[in-house]
Amino acid sequence: MGRRRKRQQESSDDDDSSSGDEANKETVLPRVRTSDEPVAKKSKWINKQRTLIFCGRGVSYHARHLARNLLTIMPHSKTETKFDRKDGLPIINEVAEMKNCNNCVFFDMRKKKDLYLWLSCVPGGPSVKFLVENVHTMEELKMTGNCLKTSRPLLSFDPKMDSTPHLKLLKEMLTRIFGTPRYHPKSQPFIDHVFSFTLLDGHIWFRNYQMIEEDGQLAEVGPRFALNPIKIFEGSFGGATIYENPQYESPNWHRSMLKKEASLKYQNRKMAKMAYRASKPEVSYPIDETEDIFTT
């Protein structure tokens, strides 16, 4: 009787172990994917900002060289062929989406004199329109500064840009567009130059400096230009106007005022001549006929 009980206990223990093994085997998932989608890879590049930089037709060589300089110092940028203005600015959103870009820098020139710059966050906005003044390219300046072509820059902003809401918005947009994301595939993991945005006389002055030493010595690389804000729109390349610069003067109005000043100079000169002729007497003074009697 004792041997039969031991055999029954051993058989019950074997059944329990086999049932436990079967339960463990059931929880293991098969190594077969049920879908054809690729496995998601973990990437260090999280802030995927890409900027599209291109020009419209009719721009001068100066604006074209400036766009090329921005492409050189911004490794996260892409370019496109010249845009025809007849198609309308909202089509730029489709061009940016085809290029897989979420930011856009567009140069537009009017009358072959006035250069305008559009900064936009594609496709939802906002967007800003600037008048570009005091443009100096790298080839023109020939500065002594030099930096790596695809290194990441530091962004330095004027403290005044935190004073008003529209300046805060401009600061955020400039950070998104000009800041090279960390771990970008085309960038190098070095920081050796600074992008400076200074607010002076209602303009945003852009400078590019090389960091020579750790103690803060700088050398300018270029390019340099000034941005005069005109309007801020709610959408991308259009929409409701969020902000309008009350101090902005269009180049056409400025040129017309210069012509008026030149015409006023001409009118003043003519009026001075007429006043001189009116004030000039016909006879200067009476002549005495007896003065020449004793002359020999």
* pLDDT tens-place string over residues 56-65: 999 999 999 9
* Cα distance between residue 221 and residue 137, in whole Å: 10
Q: Phi, psi at residue 187, to the nearest 5°? A: -105, 155
What pLDDT score was predicted for residue 32?
64
The pLDDT of residue 188 is above 60: yes
* Cα distance between residue 184 and residue 46, in whole Å: 9
When pLDDT is averaged across residues 100-105 and rounded to a whole number, the result is 94
* Cα distance between residue 257 and residue 107, in whole Å: 26
Specify which residues 100 forms β-bridges with: none
pLDDT band (50, 70, 90) for residue 48: confident
58 token code pair: 């009719």
Instruction: Note the residue count of the chain.
Output: 296
* Cα distance between residue 122 and residue 104, in whole Å: 7
Specify which residues 193 forms β-bridges with: 153, 210
The pLDDT of residue 47 is above 50: yes
- pTM confidence score: 0.75
* Cα distance between residue 150 and residue 76, in whole Å: 9
The pLDDT of residue 234 is above 50: yes
| Residue with tokens 């005022």, as numbered in its chain | 257
Q: Phi, psi at residue 61, to the nearest 5°? A: -65, -30
pLDDT band (50, 70, 90) for residue 258: confident
- Where is average pLDDT lowest: 29-43, 74-88, 96-110, 194-208? 29-43
Which residues 6+ apart lie within 8 Å of 106 measured at CB?
54, 55, 56, 83, 89, 92, 117, 118, 120, 237
When pLDDT is averaged across residues 27-32 and rounded to a whole number, the result is 62
Secondary structure of residue 111 in the 3-state scheme: coil
Number of Cβ atoms within 10 Å of the Cβ of 120: 28
Number of Cβ atoms within 10 Å of the Cβ of 25: 8
